[in-house]
Structure 1
């Protein structure tokens, strides 16, 4: 059997985006890596695509997902889009280092495969079109970690590395991430054509999204209004999920926002540790535009940009804005309250839950415990406790605070709220553990995997992937991954180059 015959033919593999007129993209093959090797593979994503196990273990796997060989039926292309970056119109952008290979439909959905870091495209804007091992590992692990948390996201099939040099702040080595998602259309994909007053193209793109991903919109009186409302609703739900686990995207530009409501483009992301609503995870974000607390507002601002791009389809600005205002806020607020009730162990909703949630975040802001550890530790406490043993019973949570009296006071209020909607401790604690992850991809964990991989040891990538795909399980063998950051991690910073 020759090398080409070892590449599996995926059923009905095509590139639906290539059915749009050719000014939506440029057809070009990826520029592969020399002597590629596998850094990490997500078997879950391989199963989504129907890739056979013997292919994952073959030399051809690295060749295909480094961009050296093509899957049968592949029609690679790079898409054009524009967008607002840090609130400023940036003009034409596009897939500067990404190649969309194509996609397939199977029993588990519609899946498109994109290689990130596979060389220059017409949209590279003078850059080399490459990704480095450091950023590729971060995206690979976080994509799969977010999926494990149940948060809508692009997925990552694999990271393929090579020893060829790439110049950033220093010389690093190249890598390619194979990303998988139902689709990669962005808010900026619509902004691109609207900014050029190309109404026909705005409509063609909207028709493509509706036909391919949201056919239910066709039953609405105005399918385009239904699509905008769908995007606004899904975006509100997405941001609520981010906030509930302390996730910060770091670069919520409109070209990094998915029309399908997925977490897209993992760069300078972070998970909250010592709670600070003003925390900025992106070292390049000098003014804190994308801080944790700003994310709900920025998402709505981005949706307004999308609504402006939809004006040729909706005709009246007030209709476009209303589509956002009537859907985004209720979706975000409703989802966030529901998720926080689950995190706090509140069996059913009461009218003043919003006030209690707000008080809880004020308490966290004042005392700054580790966000993930606070909620996970809370999951193990009883709803009632004798005063004689309360300090001992509550010690795991109290030890997260310098001011233990403040912790005691908050716990008294929490237990009073639990008593209003009683729930057996074992059931409530199990539900809370299912809502509060023990493991998230802390920056120090990603850095640990990166450092070992840069030294040629990929075992830590595999271990973290195994842990993060089950973040709500105890997994005692990985207990160290749930710990507070070590001292060496205090100076870690991530930026747009990360």
Structure 2
């Protein structure tokens, strides 16, 4: 069995608290991402005979003895909060994958830590299953994200808006270092800890920046560009994160800390799914601006190492990189080459969807299925304003390229109504629907799903309202 490393806990010991995982009542391993486990070179015996469950509850085991909770802060809905940290998660350690890269193993829902702020430190099955399926679905779509390794159910009751079954999951990421880590040690005036954090991050994750004229500016640039590219992918696929607080933003530019996320069904640019966000701060069309705002908050921590011009010049790269990536991806999904007329066609397509509240993912998929025809057929029939669609279609047929668009436009995404059904059955101890939905999300472009239940639209167009509470 591969031994776990503890680089973060050892080299930044002053930034963590040692906390033993707290098991759940009748904890059971219910879902395992075996391809990921193989990629991480983990012992297959972990998934047999409740081995991992036992290891997580044995205080002296390699999977629990050196578990730590990390300290950080964050801007939550625009307001600085220094009292944050891993309140229900523990960094168990790190393992080397087949490519020779370290990956964090992070246990979510492991009980109280010094940063729980009077909360119970638990996670519920509802949110855990949503993150498990959602993160693997984004990975299959090519969107950078943390990954789901395994999920545990239990007989433990956890109180949120209602009594819910408790659960835990182990997720992986290159690291769990957030914008909020740098923010906290900068605003707390802890210069030594901030410098130690910078040195660790530069050496372990961004070594290519070290030989640059200003390594810290190079680091800020790398984080900025990775974030811009991730947000472009979110926008192209109609993904709404829901809680883009700076403590939920990864320095690696990966989708992180899944809460009330959703993919847009009926398209409207200002879609909000988090019922804790009545002002729409984290609406779909505000995500690029919020990402840049978050980067500005992160940049304060770089002021001891970069002057104002260096920071401004770096952050100004966000918008052009985001726009270039977004336009390229959107034109690819539509089968269009680069050009002003093609970009206008892309914009007009979104205007069509918005004007009639057409389903975002299904409309792109339907377009892909008609990509080689002159007759728009069922696609045309899905619009009320046929004249407006016909004008768009005529122009589109002039510019479209002979490409396979089915491999660019998914048939299956983890829609909220499908996730709700998976949660309902899992709460009755039946994970078969969840496993089947996950399998579909792992091959989202396969034509098998075009007429399948997992490609179905929600029965109602009523707005979805999701809870942050997990």
TM-score by length of 1: 0.90
1:292 corresponds to which of 270, 273, 284? 284
Gap change, CA 1:284 and 1:411, over 3 Å in 2: same
Aligned twin of 1:359:
348
Matches of 2:252 and 2:182, distance apart in 1: 13
Aligned twin of 2:388:
406
Aligned twin of 2:8:
17
Structure 1 residue 490 displacement after superposition? 4.2
Aligned twin of 2:215:
223
Q: SS at the partner of 1:409?
A: helix
Aligned twin of 2:92:
101
Correspondence 1:183 to 2:175: yes
1:255 corresponds to which of 239, 247, 254? 247
Q: Deviations along 1:132-182, whole A, 9 cap, x unmatched?
A: 111110011101111111110000111101101111111111100111111
Aligned twin of 2:146:
154
Q: Please say if residues 63 and 93 of structure 2, whose CA atoms lie closer than 8 Å, have aligned partners that are also in contact.
A: no
Which moved further from structure 2: 138-147 or 200-209?
A: 200-209
Equivalent positions of 1:159-238 (< 5 A) are 159-238=151-230
Equivalent positions of 1:371-410 (< 5 A) are 371-383=360-372, 385=374, 390=375, 394-410=376-392
Question: What is the CA RMSD across the aligned residues, in angstroms?
Answer: 1.9
Structure 1 residue 383 displacement after superposition? 4.7
Correspondence 1:85 to 2:67: no
Structure 1 residue 73 displacement after superposition? 8.4
Q: SS at the partner of 2:155?
A: strand
What is the count of residue pairs matched by the alignment? 469
Which moved further from structure 2: 316-325 or 268-277?
A: 316-325
Structure 1 residue 384 displacement after superposition? 5.5
Q: Please say if residues 154 and 179 of structure 1, whose CA atoms lie closer than 8 Å, have aligned partners that are also in contact.
A: yes
Structure 1 residue 69 displacement after superposition? 7.6
Which moved further from structure 2: 95-104 or 69-78?
A: 69-78
Matches of 2:382 and 2:55, distance apart in 1: 48
Q: Deviations along 1:404-432, whole A, 9 cap, x unmatched?
A: 332222211211222xxxx43xxx1x2x1
Q: SS at the partner of 1:180?
A: strand
Matches of 1:441 and 1:66, distance apart in 2: 32
Unaligned runs of 5+ in 2: none
Aligned twin of 2:426:
453
Q: Please say if residues 92 and 192 of structure 1, whose CA atoms lie closer than 8 Å, have aligned partners that are also in contact.
A: no
Structure 1 residue 90 displacement after superposition? 1.5
Q: SS at the partner of 2:74?
A: strand
Q: Deviations along 1:333-392, whole A, 9 cap, x unmatched?
A: 11101101110001x32244333322222222212210001111111214552xxxx3xx
Q: SS at the partner of 2:292?
A: helix
Q: SS at the partner of 1:10?
A: coil
Matches of 2:61 and 2:259, distance apart in 1: 27
Q: Please say if residues 32 and 68 of structure 1, whose CA atoms lie closer than 8 Å, have aligned partners that are also in contact.
A: no
Q: SS at the partner of 1:61?
A: helix
Which moved further from structure 2: 126-135 or 42-51?
A: 42-51
Q: SS at the partner of 1:91?
A: strand
Q: Please say if residues 144 and 156 of structure 1, whose CA atoms lie closer than 8 Å, have aligned partners that are also in contact.
A: yes
Aligned twin of 1:268:
260
Correspondence 1:31 to 2:22: yes
Q: Please say if residues 10 and 72 of structure 1, whose CA atoms lie closer than 8 Å, have aligned partners that are also in contact.
A: no
Aligned twin of 1:4:
none
Structure 1 residue 190 displacement after superposition? 0.2
Aligned twin of 1:415:
397
Aligned twin of 2:357:
368
Which moved further from structure 2: 465-474 or 71-80?
A: 71-80
Aligned twin of 1:497:
469
Q: Deviations along 1:59-80, whole A, 9 cap, x unmatched?
A: 1133346788843685210000
TM-score by length of 2: 0.95
Structure 1 residue 249 displacement after superposition? 0.1
Matches of 2:238 and 2:230, distance apart in 1: 12
Equivalent positions of 1:236-251 (< 5 A) are 236-251=228-243
Q: SS at the partner of 2:144?
A: coil
Structure 1 residue 495 displacement after superposition? 1.8
